Amino acid sequence: MHVRTDSLSPSALSSFLAELSDIPHDTAPNTVAAKSRDFFWYSPILKERLAHCVAEAVVTPRSETDVIAVAGLAAKYRIPLTVRGAGTGNYGQAVPLHGGIILDMIAMDAIGPVVDGAVRVGPGAKLKDIDRQTRPSGWELRMFPSTYRTATIGGFIAGGSGGVGSINYSGLAERGSIGGARVVTLEAEPRVIELRGFDAHWVQHAYGTNGIITELEIPLAPALAWTEIAVAFSDFMQLARFCLKVGRADGIFKKLVTAVEWPIPRYFGTLKAPVTDGSALGLFMIGRASLVPFAELVEAFGGALVYQQNEADVAASGAVPIYEYTWNHTTLQLLKREKNVTYLQSAFPDLAAVEAMQQTFGSEVTQHLEFVRANGEVVVRALQIVWYTTAERLNEIIAIHESRGCPVFNPHTYILEDGGMKVTDAAQLAFKRVADPLGLLNPGKMRGWTF
């Protein structure tokens, strides 16, 4: 892995900055250091590897015209460029490995009108702001990460995978999740390329290595009034069976189906869902019209409803929404109080595999399941809590999962291929040759890129 930083010198950087003219930029060390970080510190391994990585300047384009100007200058002076949304990624995706500039997209936050159930947005638009704008016309985002209140749509598309809503619409990689993307290339004469349909997925989960997204078209879902619900069970596997049933209940409106094993609920104090020691907790977002059939299922499976609030009331009161206890917020709730925890991301082929891993690892790995739809089926994904001891043991835990048919999307690497995909995505790489021929976009993240 190498990067062409050979011509980057202090004078190149100052010439670059001088030519930016009125495009906002900042070289204050504190600002640059803060904008060079994301949530990589979730991983003890990445924490050690990435803590020292810092850029030389932050540039904040206001428009696509600004992006074109910056991209042209970065090519002229051979300056590495790492695009940034809100910096909530977990794998150091937005951390510059080779210095250069951070392109902060936060000011490009335009949100257009809903047309035929889709919306065109600037990459810096916050997910929560998109919903705020589209809901009055009856539409909402199909899915969002649990960082909904802070993350940008550009960062979600380029760095995320799915989340709340994936129980209905699968993940971002699913055909149809993205309608289109406008992408600026990094070369002496930058071009704007409009990707439509599945071609837009070339820049999805590519960590900003193969183009700068300047606009996105996002298909939406009909908006519903959601109710946040928590259900306690004395037995975790019974909760898991209940979640599968809810996930498969096609007549029930749902947006979130999560199961966590004890002691995770002990860290959910602010949720105010009273649970006895040893309980497993299910967390749900259920459409208001489906509350009765949902309650019937709770009773049939022997659960106890311990929390129920309308999502709108929770938002109005400023309380923490239920999804901020799910997906990768579950790990965060523990990290607030425990130093020796980290996590995995994996897929279970069935609930028998969950039980087998539960028995294999006991309290060393605490189960956290997220139920999602994939290829028309409800499937079991997991972001298990690992009570961390050493890197060797973490790798052993990963290897044992994989040897038992439970693939792990390793969150302890910043290399694109070593996370989920395992192999280089040929289409992403081919598009990188078109959009970043100098290899200056987020260099060091895509293993398949060699000059």
Residue (80 or 160) nearer to ligand FAD, CB: 160
The least CB distance from residue 311 to ligand FAD, in Å, is 17
Stretch that binds ligand FAD, among 152-160, 303-311, 399-407, 429-437 (CB under 6 A): 152-160
DSSP 60: -
Beta strands 101-104 and 57-59 are parallel
The least CB distance from residue 238 to ligand FAD, in Å, is 25
Instruction: For residue 96, give both structure tokens.
Output: 């510059």
The least CB distance from residue 433 to ligand FAD, in Å, is 17
Cβ atoms of residues 288 and 295 within 8 Å? no
Gap between the terminal Cα atoms of the chain: 9
For residue 105, count CB atoms less than 10 angstroms from its CB and return exposed for 0-12, middle for 13-18, buried for 19 or more: buried
Cβ atoms of residues 232 and 306 within 8 Å? yes
Residue (279 or 331) nearer to ligand FAD, CB: 331
Cβ atoms of residues 168 and 139 within 8 Å? no
Choosing from 50, 442, 443, 449, the residue that interacts with ligand FAD (CB under 6 A) is: 442
The least CB distance from residue 84 to ligand FAD, in Å, is 4
Residue (202 or 262) nearer to ligand FAD, CB: 202
Residue (100 or 162) nearer to ligand FAD, CB: 162
Residue in the structure block whose two tokens are 């910096």: 87
Is 86 near ligand FAD (CB under 6 A)?
Answer: yes
Is 165 near ligand FAD (CB under 6 A)?
Answer: no
Choosing from 72, 80, 162, 411, the residue that interacts with ligand FAD (CB under 6 A) is: 162
**CB half-sphere exposure, 226, CA atoms < 13 A:** 22
Residue (52 or 336) nearer to ligand FAD, CB: 336
407 preceded by a cis bond (ω within 30 of 0): no
Binders of ligand FAD among residues 6 to 45 (CB under 6 A) are 38-39
Instruction: For residue 68, give both structure tokens.
Output: 């074109």
Instruction: For residue 2, give both structure tokens.
Output: 């190498």
C-alpha to C-alpha distance for 63 and 49, rounded to whole angstroms: 34
Tell me the C-alpha to C-alpha distance, in Å, between residue 143 and each of 178, 203, 316, 339, 357: 11, 18, 21, 30, 28
Choosing from 36, 60, 134, 147, the residue that interacts with ligand FAD (CB under 6 A) is: 147
- For residues 324, 325, 326, 329, the Cα torsion angle rounded to the nearest 10 degrees is 70
The least CB distance from residue 61 to ligand FAD, in Å, is 10
Q: Which residues contact 394 (CB under 8 A, 6 or more apart)?
A: 45, 342, 386, 388, 412
The least CB distance from residue 331 to ligand FAD, in Å, is 7
Is 160 near ligand FAD (CB under 6 A)?
Answer: yes
Stretch that binds ligand FAD, among 133-141, 241-249, 322-330, 336-344 (CB under 6 A): 322-330
Is 151 near ligand FAD (CB under 6 A)?
Answer: yes
- As a whole number of angstroms, the longest Cα–Cα distance in the chain is 71
Tell me the C-alpha to C-alpha distance, in Å, between residue 384 and each of 48, 220, 288, 313: 21, 30, 30, 30
The torsion angles phi and psi of 104, rounded to 5 degrees, stand at: -90, 115
Choosing from 72, 99, 100, 154, the residue that interacts with ligand FAD (CB under 6 A) is: 154
Residue (86 or 298) nearer to ligand FAD, CB: 86
Tell me, residue by residue from 327 to 366, as one string, x for binding to ligand FAD by CB under 6 A and - for no binding: xxx--x----------------------------------
Is 369 near ligand FAD (CB under 6 A)?
Answer: no
Dump strand ranges (E) for 76-185: 81-84, 101-104, 111-115, 118-121, 139-141, 180-184
Is 105 near ligand FAD (CB under 6 A)?
Answer: yes
The least CB distance from residue 392 to ligand FAD, in Å, is 26
Q: How many residues bind ligand FAD (CB under 6 A)?
A: 38
Binders of ligand FAD among residues 110 to 129 (CB under 6 A) are 123
Tell me, residue by residue from 177 to 216, as one string, x for binding to ligand FAD by CB under 6 A and - for no binding: ------------------------------xx---xx---
Is 152 near ligand FAD (CB under 6 A)?
Answer: yes
Beta strands 385-387 and 341-343 are antiparallel
Cβ atoms of residues 163 and 144 within 8 Å? yes
Beta strands 254-260 and 368-374 are antiparallel
The least CB distance from residue 427 to ligand FAD, in Å, is 16
The least CB distance from residue 350 to ligand FAD, in Å, is 23
Instruction: For residue 167, give both structure tokens.
Output: 């129980």
Interface residues with ligand FAD (CB under 6 A)? Answer: 38-39, 82-90, 93-94, 105, 123, 145-147, 151-152, 154-156, 158-163, 207-208, 212-213, 327-329, 332, 442
